[in-house]
């Protein structure tokens, strides 16, 4: 696979999502995103306003996680949080589905949830990403979620929050890509911490990588671009 360092960096949604992050750390995070040319600064919804100001006049997007990391809030709550994040300056929205309803096979609920959040994003020209949290789902459930995404058309489907017991797998990325290709992008997130793993995710079809290990991945690339 031939990819330049600049192209690789531009695939990263560089994440800082822990509860204990300080305002000073957000400053450093945004500075890193700007200097490295990452696609997005991935944060929770509260610091969106601060990070949007820090990244003004920069091509780096501010991305807000919604109902993160559990997804266990109502559709109305998720829509309201989405709207507030967009008002504060979010360029991208990553929301967590209601896994309980997915495991119950309540696909009407999942479709309604996805449709309402994607519609708000589309109305404001904001990129939408749907987090499945695959570690809790069967392959059949992941397939059904992807089929719903093909109908609703979010910009991306995403493997994981990174807060579950496991993250992205090559098998899941390949499955998701095989269903949504040409309609949605695929974002691999969770435990993508080195260049060999990242390269496998890209080869499987991921066009965005959610990670807090962006610098480690780039260091691995610098050491051996063709691992």
* Cα 192 from Cα 188, distance rounded (Å): 8
pTM of the model: 0.97
The CATH number of 64-223 is 3.20.20.70
Out of 13, 88, 91, 94, which one is annotated catalytic?
94
Q: What pLDDT does residue 114 have?
A: 98
Determine whether 18 is exposed, middle or buried from the number of CB atoms within 10 Å of its CB (0-12, 13-18, 19+).
exposed
Residue from 52, 78, 129, 158 carrying the catalytic annotation: 158
Contact 210, 162 (CB under 8 A): yes
187 flagged as catalytic? yes
**139 noted as active-site residue:** no
Residues 152-192: pLDDT tens digits?
A: 999 999 999 999 999 999 999 999 999 999 999 999 999 99
Q: Which residues of the chain have pLDDT under 50?
A: none
Looking at residue 212, its pLDDT comes to 98
Which one of 78, 129, 187, 199 is the catalytic residue? Answer: 187
Task: Judge whether 158 counts as a catalytic residue.
Answer: yes
Per-residue confidence (pLDDT) for residue 2, from 0 to 100: 87
At 226 the pLDDT is 83
Give the pLDDT confidence score for residue 1 in this predicted structure: 63
């Amino acid at each position: 696979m031939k990819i330049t360092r600049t192209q690789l960096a531009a695939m990263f949604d560089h994440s800082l999502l822990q509860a204990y992050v300080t305002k000073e750390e957000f400053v450093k995070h945004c500075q890193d995103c700007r200097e490295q040319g990452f696609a997005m600064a991935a944060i929770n919804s509260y610091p969106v306003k601060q990070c949007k100001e820090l990244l003004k006049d920069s091509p780096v997007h501010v991305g807000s996680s919604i109902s993160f990391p559990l997804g266990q809030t109502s559709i109305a709550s998720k829509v309201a949080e989405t709207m507030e994040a967009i008002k504060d300056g979010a360029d991208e929205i990553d929301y967590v589905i209601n896994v309980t309803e997915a495991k119950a096979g309540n696909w009407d609920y999942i479709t309604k949830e996805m449709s309402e959040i994607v519609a708000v994003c589309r109305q404001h020209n904001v990129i939408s990403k749907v987090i499945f949290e695959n570690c809790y789902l069967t392959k059949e459930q992941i397939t059904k979620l992807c089929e719903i995404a093909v109908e609703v058309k979010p910009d991306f489907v995403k493997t994981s929050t990174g807060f579950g017991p496991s993250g992205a797998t090559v098998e899941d990325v390949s499955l998701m890509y095989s269903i949504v290709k040409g309609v949605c992008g695929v974002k691999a997130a969770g435990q993508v911490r080195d260049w060999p793993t990242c390269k496998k995710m890209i080869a499987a079809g991921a066009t965005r990588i959610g990670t807090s290990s962006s610098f480690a991945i780039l260091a691995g690339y610098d050491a051996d671009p063709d691992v």
